[in-house]
Structure 1
Amino acid sequence: MRPLRLFLDGFGSYREATDLDFTDVDFFALVGPTGSGKSTVIDALCFALYGTVPRWGKENVIAHALAPSANACRVALVFEAANARYAAVRLLTRDARGKVHTREARLDRLDRGVSPDGDLNAVLEASVEQIAEGADRVTAAVKDLLGLSYEHFTQCVLLPQGRFAEFLQAKPGERQDLLVQLLAYGVYEQVGQRARQRAQLATASRTILQAQRDELAGATKEAEDEARARVDELGQLMTSVTTQLDGLDAARTGAAQTAAAANENRAAAAQLAQVAIPDGVTDLAARIAAEDMKVATARSARHLTEVAEDEARVVRGSLGDSERYERWRSAYSACADTQQTLTHQNAALERLRAAQAEAHLRLEAAEAAVETASADETTARAAHAAAAIAATLHLGDNCPVCQQQVQALPHHEPATDLEQATAALTAARQQCKKAAAIAHVSAAKVAGAQRDVETTEALLLQHTASLDGAPSRADVEAALAAIMAADHAVTDAAEQARRARAAVSAAETARAALDAAEQQARRTLGATRDALSALTPPPLTGNHLAEDWNTLLTWAQRQNAACAAAQPSLDQAAANARAKVGSILDIVHTLLAEHGLEDIPDADVAPVALAGHQAHADAALNKIRTDRERASALDKQLAACADEIAVATTLGDLLRATQFERWLCGEALDSLVTEASTTLMELSGGQYELDRTSRNEFAVIDYNDAGTRRPVHTLSGGETFQASLALALALSRQVVGLSAGMRALDSMFLDEGFGTLDENTLDTVAHTLERLAADKDRMVGVVTHVPALAERVPVQFVVSRDATTSRVRKMPT
């Protein structure tokens, strides 16, 4: 797995979108202050693939992925593996209750024709196949694709901070599981499983073949000889039966002929005995003559009624169309009705006009009363005002009205009551308003009545105009009465004619029935004679029905007597012929019974049945021969199955043993330890060499302590880092060879741990990492605070952090 692009948005401290391009990078370092977000980059790479991060402590704790203030995060990793390009994308969201969910997770295979360092969206959209969708399915697909579980990935590809020593200090069983998966040693277990499956399948096949062979136990040479003898026996029987049946056909033909002659004579006698003259044939001519007279009388009466109907229609036609007279009658009625309406409307108009005049007089009187009351109110108001002013005057003062000095006080009589005058004026005005309303309503009624009169007068003029040139009303009524009488006459005449035609139809039907009876009698005579045509009946005249029937009956009676006389001799000849046929059949049945073929009861089908038995016998013989050949082939197959079972069982048992897998892992560990020891000697300045115990546990040989063997857990932190790094580097370099090319660790990521190294060791580590990165196009990434190491790395990703987000800047050294 080699990363090409890594995109973070809202992941951890990266609250803003960050895009890291690794397309042209083989060896890089993530540098920056503590807490700036360096390890978070490695976390994001791991999260995109497996959906979890080692630093979170537990798998599937995805809540740590989101920045505290973020409600969503997105991580996308574009990488290459097994000569193909893929994209792993995971999107998380935070719900209203603060719980984090995986909203989207997918793994796609991408088009390698799209440049990986171009627009990221274009790279991600260049999907040619969706490998998996959903968080768990994507993790499982990544595991299958890389051949590494999450635990194994964090032990040999991603060495997270504080977990360098996991592979070094792992239990032998756990380390063996990793090597089996990493180095594809599981293929031997698969081979063992396939071998055991082959043994099971071969055993099942042997069981089936043996069952088939058991079914062929009767396929022996003796059975074949017996079947061949049966075939020959049936062939001889076929010859004998055929000889007998050759005479059976002639005998049956004679028996059929004599039986047919006897049956024909018997049938002829029965047919002749049934000849009889039908009822009613004798008086049929007299009935036909009577019906002909009825038909003639009915036709004469029909003619008279049809003439009367035609005359009535002529009279009706001369009177003309009744519709015009009906219009005139309606117009006369409308004029009379309209004139009557107009008379009533004029009378009503006169009454309304009189009421209008009376209302007008009352309105004039009310208006005069208002004027009088208004003058009285004005006078009372002035007197009341003068008295009020006079009461305020003093001698020598100026008058407020004339502005002259008051020489003497005026004397005023008590003023008329002003309130009474005002009330009178108000009452007069109300009466006037009522009178005006009544006058207005009266005038409106008169106007409406006037319009009604004018409308009716216009309608009367229309009706009168429609009678222009019309006869008098009495003439119109007389013409309509005459037309009605003529219509009744036509209806009566048509009814008489209809009845006469019905009478003719009934008479003709009765006559036709007699025709039908006559024709039926002649057809019956012809059918009876035709049925006897084989007996040569006498010819008929065809003119007299009764005479022809008597001629045929007399001849049938004579012929019936002759048939009765010949019947006994014909029956005896038929019985003799049947006895000859029975004798031949008895011989055939005896032959069949002698050969065990009583199941063939009918001699007619004996040849066919014998042919069937012969076919069955031939088939049985052929089956025995085929079964013998098949039994021989099954014996060979059973022998081959036995050999395959033995080989597959032995191979399966050998590969089932855990010692084989342990031996493979031991050989791999020896190779790894050899190379790791060389690296560890360089890193430790010649102090330590890595070794493996007989139980596949790691130990170090301390040459500063007289070559003492020490368990790896007794090493200090820095020493443990050196040993773990040496082992990880060896594993990364040798995985292709140890797995026979089935696995490749194209990337290695180291998170911290370099601060404990001295200057010389650090130089050795840097040199070793450079060689590793240059070997077979492998990517190596380190997270470090050590400037001396960072300066040796060709590409640096400088990580910084402000109050808002972490940022990454790519720069070469």
Structure 2
Amino acid sequence: MRLHRLEVAAFGPYVHRETVDFDALGADGLFLLHGDTGAGKTTLLDAIAFALFGKVPGARGQDKPRLRCDLADAESVTEVVLELTVQGQRLRIVRSPEYQRPKRRGDGTTTQQAKASLTWVGPPPQGHPQDGLTRIDEVARTVQRLLGMSAEQFFQVVLLPQGEFARFLRADTADREQLLEHLFGTRRFGDVERWFRELRVRRGREVDAGKQAVREWTARLAQAAGEEPPENPGAPGEEWLTELRSRVAGQVAEAEKAELVANESRERADRDLQERRTLAERVRRVRAAHARLAEVAEQAEDRARWTAELAAARRAATVTDVAAEADRLEERLRQARRAEEDRVRLVRATAEDTEETAAEVPDLRARAGVLREEAGALAGLVAEAEQQDHDERRVAELATMAEEATARAAALAAERDALPERIRGLRTERDRAAEAEVGLGGLRPREQELTASLVEANRLPGLTAELERAGEAERAAVDEHQRVRQQLLDLREHRLNGMAAELAARLDSGSPCPVCGSAEHPTPAKPVDGSVGEQDERAATELEQVADRRRQQAVAARHEADAALTAVRERLAGRTAEELDRLLTEVRAEIAGLAETAGRKPHLERAVAEAEAKAEELSSRRAEAERRAAAAHAERTSLAAQVEERRRRLTAARGEHADVAARRAHLVSVLEALEALAEARSARLGVEERLAEQRTALREALAAAEFDSVESAREAARQPSVLTELERRLTEARTAEAAAQAVLAEPELASISPHTEVDLETAVAEANRARAEAESAVSAHRAAVHRERNVTELAGHYADAVTELGPAEAEYAELDALTDVVNGKGQNSRRMSLRSYVLAARLEEVAVAATARLRTMSQGRYSFVHSDAAGSRGTRGGLGLDVLDDYSGSVRPAKTLSGGESFLASLALALGLADVVAAETGGALLDTLFVDEGFGTLDAETLDIVMDVLDELRAGGRVVGLVSHVEELRQRIPTRLRVRKARAGSSLELVA
């Protein structure tokens, strides 16, 4: 950052606009800003800070400072203008503070709002408007972004206030921490500290919630067990939980024992009831068995008849089934013979040799096999015959394609050969149109010039007449003004002549005369006829002023008319309207011809492009047609040879048939007919053989069933449903009789009489009572078991809650201790927070950077020593700053330094801090620095050393401004800016 120019107006002690040329001041790299105390030296530094950031540094910037000059008049505007270069961009900042000014109408004051603007001297950076910025917030953001540092950092690294750094040397940890935090932007570490504190609060709430959960599970355990919860509000002991579970388990054991007793009583009652029910059931079964035997005895005759009918039907079934099968085989034999006859006729119709119809089945199948092999050999030739037809058609198509492609190529070649001549003609016309377009561009301005000149020539008579009228009006206005002016002069002369009478008219008796001062007026002058008064003179003066304005207007009008006429004549250069009209007609005719020719240029360009594209297309199409003709001819030659060779093989294979497929179809039909005949003959022989066997089986079945004939067997036969019904009746009768006998034969029923009576009601009542008692005992046991299950489940939840609470409490304890450490408490022996630790590291860097200059300025005696030890009475540490005295080898507080030594230390500290902050923020290169006061405490030798250090800064390309009233500095620094103090306000003087 380099400053170029500063302007202040009505700012601080400066009433008028004062300008500081930093380019002239910093030409030598070092300049002195001096003046009387209170003259306004520091105000110039405030102006620089205000222009950049809208506020001033130090205590002067607190409580809304008054920046307006108290001596400035109401119309003066308070503003600061600063030109500087930052990151290669030169900019101009204009800023005005808010202040009170008198109202333009009425009494009182009004608030003049603050303003700010930023404009670029040269082209603006990319993304910024050309006209600059006018909003205060936009100006602030842009300046801070270009400088790379905040206002507080700028005040410390550019405007080095020695008094503040002297206080910094002697400040306590809290004050140093506040300053360093502003400079190095360590608020994020404070955010980390706050994050730890907030996390500790959240984890504490979670631990409290865990404890509450343990208390809730304790209460639910006691409620589930039917007991009162323990008085201890925290987690109860393991002994309480063990006793609780033991008591619940004892309740379960007692309920289980009561349930066993009740169940035994119920089982006894159930056994008695079951015994009585068993006896009653046995009596019922005995009575039912006797009743069933009586029913069976009544059906004896029907059972004998059913048995005989069923036996005859079963014997007849063995004959009827065989007879039915024999009938079916006779019908199949008749069908087989008819089918064989049909196959014989088919063979005779297809085969050449009809004697084959009498052959045996093996001979027929052998002959069919021979024919199948021959037909199979012809299958491949059938496909070739189909391919032969396709290939013959393809040969003809290829011949046609070759002829058509050859003819097409010849036609395209002829069309292509005719295009070059046409393309040359189109190009010639296109070039002519382009030349016309160029010529047209040169004639258009000529036409416009001639048109404008013709208009001017046509205006010439009117302008001449207007000039004559303006001249006449001017002469008339001059004459009228002279006349009115002469009347005014005459009128004034008359009034002067009668002035004594006018003064006498104003005299009062006893009042002093305004001329001689006498209070007596013995012979006052008398007005004469035709005297002139003040009103008459004022009216004449107004008439003279009106006439003079008219004269001036007439003179101006005449001058304008003369200037307009002269300008037109100069532009025409002696050319007449007739000459201009002739030239314009010629130019327009030439333009029309060229415009017509040039207008055809787009059409001609398209025509040339289309013709060239068509030529390329025709060449491509002709090459494609020739390629297709060659390909078709080659394919036809190859395919024709294949067709001829295949034709010879197919002619030999078809024999006397129309083609190979016809011969193969004939062979297939013959072999299929022979195979069908063999199948039919084989089937007929099989049926005859089975029929003979079935007839033998029928005779044997009649003999075995003891029937004389098939008809008698069929008469004895019954339908399956009838047989099923007979079998069911007999089976039911036998089953009922056997079941009744079996019941009566059972050992437990042997002593049972059908007349025995059994009492069930008493046993049922006793069983119901015992069952109710058992169910009540079961419910009590289940309730106890359910209680035990709930207690066990809740005990698990309780254990989980206690288990979760333990690590949470441990984590919270660890977090609590870590939060205290981060915030400089607890086990943090140095009492340094995280933010203080970071600031301590930065302060250590500052101490290292400042030591290099302090050792030089103190001739190797003093060095800064950074201390991170805790303060007294447990206060925070880490920001201690002492000095090492090389003479004594001891470290002592900075407060023990003398005045001059304190100045050297504070200056070294300011320069070191400026370097570290600039490097930390990555800000713009600081080419301009100001060192404010403190040089009066140095001796001559030390001052030389300090000046050498400042020369080092200047040698690095910086401009250093020293603010001091020390007389010796005026002798050492040739370039000075003097601030003069006066009652009317301060002013500036550049001394070089």
TM category, shorter: 0.3 to 0.5
**Which structure has the higher relative contact order (CA within 8 Å, separation 6+)?**
2
